[in-house]
């Protein structure tokens, strides 16, 4: 029995990056022997075990065979005679197919003992993403992973690897990807240091035309925006992948007057993002309307109240501020000083609204009921009075 640290952890170690994703391969061992040693089985499709103390994942060395289209169409084989090199051969990229032997007693690692059958270290040094074998083409998720690694490290895709990815797209392999997995990889890629590389790689191999066809129009504009995100300090404290994606959707919605929520629905995003997608373009247009009105008159504040109502800001303050953050990022990209100032003004007005004395609100509501007035209009009159005070 021999244990090896493999994959991303070895890659990150060579790059001087602290990796929390520790995966181990066990060679020359059976399922029964792993159980006897106290390892806890967790794998459904192939034997993966948790270490009884560290809880790190240990997988038996395995090979695989393509049995159907898509990333789930594989059958795996494990045997005590399967070698480490055979296990590494089934992996996607050379930079992910390196291993380090682990001292069974002290868990010590030494880069001097690097096992690198496919020259992954050289590709790492040359900043190249290169497939290991033609079996790469059997799993369409690998296209998304290559794009994500490009976004993480700003690496180039080897020419033959890109051609292989193009062939995979042309053959319909990408069509087999499920929406949840697409979003999982897109979301991770947009959160990387070079998010524009994600779209560039997917575009260059044709996969973007299949998984996000809406992003093809204005593609260069999206790339410029993503470069802006990665290089520019904005007034927003934290720009996560969701905000970046919604900013691109905002651009699509505004430029083409398109309903962007179907894109979120097709990707099967969580309900919160779908809800935001339904609001964001309409809200931004209303904010523009606020900036076009002479400042600080009644019409100006009435339109401000429209923004607060559209965003359901009184009840959903956190979500509303999140949406305003997206609008602010978009405004910063276009150097729209008026929009930025207006957003800050809206935040101030919302602060006034939520801090109106509760007794005043109760009085307004009771009077509206007493005189058969519209409660919403009465409350808005109170808010306008506070704005103009």
Residue 115 has pLDDT above 80, yes or no: yes
Please choose, from the candidates 273, 214, 279, the residue with its C-alpha nearest in 3D space to the C-alpha of residue 241.
273
| Per-residue pLDDT at 297 | 83
Query: Which whole-number Å values give the CA distances from 313 to 304, 308, 316, 351, 354, in the listed order?
Result: 11, 5, 5, 10, 9
Residue 310 has pLDDT above 90, yes or no: yes
Please give the average per-residue pLDDT across 19-26, as a whole number.
86
Please give the average per-residue pLDDT across 66-90, as a whole number.
74
Residue 328 has pLDDT above 80, yes or no: yes
Q: Which of the four pLDDT bands, split at 50, 70 and 90, describes residue 106?
A: very low
Other C-beta atoms within 10 Å of 112: how many? 6
- Residues with Cβ within 8 Å of 113's Cβ and at least 6 positions away in sequence, in order, are 100, 101
Q: Do domains 2-121 and 127-211 have the same CATH topology?
A: no
Residue 243: half-sphere exposure toward Cβ, Cα within 13 Å: 21
| Per-residue pLDDT at 302 | 92
| Per-residue pLDDT at 312 | 95
Residue 232 has pLDDT above 80, yes or no: no
127-211 fold? Hydrophobic Seed Protein (1.10.110)
In whole angstroms, give the CA distance from residue 358 to residue 378.
14
Asked whether the beta carbons of 190 and 244 are under 8 A apart, the reply is yes
| Per-residue pLDDT at 171 | 93
Please give the average per-residue pLDDT across 239-254, as a whole number.
92
DSSP string covering 73-134: -EEEEE-TT--HHHHHHTSSBGGG--EEE--TTT----GGG-B-TT-HHHHHHTTEE-BSSG
- How does pLDDT run across 295-305, given as a tens digit for each residue? 778 889 999 99
In whole angstroms, give the CA distance from residue 213 to residue 211.
6
Please give the average per-residue pLDDT across 193-200, as a whole number.
95
Residue 231 has pLDDT above 80, yes or no: no
For the CA atoms of the chain, what is the radius of gyration?
A: 27
| Per-residue pLDDT at 74 | 53
Please give the average per-residue pLDDT across 340-366, as a whole number.
94
- How does pLDDT run across 151-165, given as a tens digit for each residue? 999 999 999 999 999
Global pTM reads 0.87
| Range 165-183 burial, b when 16+ CB lie within 10 A, else e | beebbeeebbeebeeebbb
> Counting beta carbons within 10 angstroms of the beta carbon of residue 111, is it exposed (0 to 12), middle (13 to 18) or buried (19 or more)?
exposed
Residue 18 has pLDDT above 90, yes or no: no
Residue 66 has pLDDT above 90, yes or no: no
Specify the range with the lowest mean pLDDT, choosing from 42-51, 210-219, 273-282: 42-51
| Per-residue pLDDT at 229 | 85
In whole angstroms, give the CA distance from residue 7 to residue 99.
7
Please give the average per-residue pLDDT across 279-288, as a whole number.
94
Q: What percent of the chain has pLDDT over 70?
A: 94
Over the chain, what is the mean pLDDT?
A: 90
Please give the average per-residue pLDDT across 182-202, as a whole number.
95
Asked whether the beta carbons of 45 and 76 are under 8 A apart, the reply is yes
Please give the average per-residue pLDDT across 360-389, as a whole number.
92
Domain ranges (residues) in the chain = 2-121, 127-211, 275-388
2-121 classified as CATH 3.30.460.10? yes
| Per-residue pLDDT at 257 | 84
Highest mean pLDDT among 60-64, 115-119, 240-244: 115-119
């Amino acid at each position: 029995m021999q244990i090896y640290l493999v994959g991303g952890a070895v890659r990150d170690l060579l790059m001087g990056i602290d990796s929390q994703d520790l995966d181990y391969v066990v060679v020359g061992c059976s399922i029964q022997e792993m159980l006897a040693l106290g390892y806890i089985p967790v794998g459904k499709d192939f034997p993966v075990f948790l270490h009884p103390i560290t809880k790190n994942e240990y997988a038996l060395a395995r090979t695989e065979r393509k049995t159907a289209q898509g990333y789930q169409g594989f059958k795996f084989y494990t045997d005590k005679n399967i070698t480490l090199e055979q296990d590494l051969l089934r992996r996607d990229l050379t930079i992910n197919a390196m291993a380090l032997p682990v001292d069974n007693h002290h868990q010590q690692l030494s880069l001097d003992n690097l096992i690198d059958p496919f020259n992954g270290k050289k590709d790492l040094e040359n900043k190249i993403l290169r497939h290991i074998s033609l079996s790469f083409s059997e799993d369409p998720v690998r296209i998304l992973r290559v794009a994500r690694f490009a976004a993480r490290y700003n690496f180039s895709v080897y020419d033959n690897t890109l051609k292989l990815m193009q062939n995979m797209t042309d053959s319909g392999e990408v069509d087999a990807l499920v929406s949840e997995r697409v979003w999982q990889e897109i979301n991770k890629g947009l959160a990387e240091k070079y998010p524009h590389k994600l779209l560039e790689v997917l575009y260059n191999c044709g996969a973007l035309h299949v998984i996000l066809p809406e992003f093809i129009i204005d593609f260069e504009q999206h790339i410029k925006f993503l470069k802006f995100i990665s290089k520019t300090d904005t007034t927003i404290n934290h720009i996560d992948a969701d905000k970046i994606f919604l900013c691109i959707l905002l651009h699509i919605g505004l430029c083409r007057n398109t309903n962007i929520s179907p894109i979120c629905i097709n990707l099967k995003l969580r309900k919160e993002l779908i809800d935001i997608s339904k609001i964001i373009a309409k809200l931004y247009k209303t904010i523009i309307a606020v900036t076009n009105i002479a400042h600080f008159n009644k019409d100006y504040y009435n339109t401000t109240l429209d923004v607060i109502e559209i965003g359901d800001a009184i009840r959903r303050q956190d979500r509303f501020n999140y949406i305003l953050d997206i609008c602010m990022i978009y405004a910063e990209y276009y150097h729209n000083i008026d929009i930025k100032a207006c957003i800050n003004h809206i935040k101030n007005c919302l602060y006034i609204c939520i801090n109106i004395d509760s007794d005043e609100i109760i009085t307004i509501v009771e009077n509206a009921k007493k005189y058969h007035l519209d409660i919403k209009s009465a409350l808005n009159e109170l808010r306008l009075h506070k704005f103009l005070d």
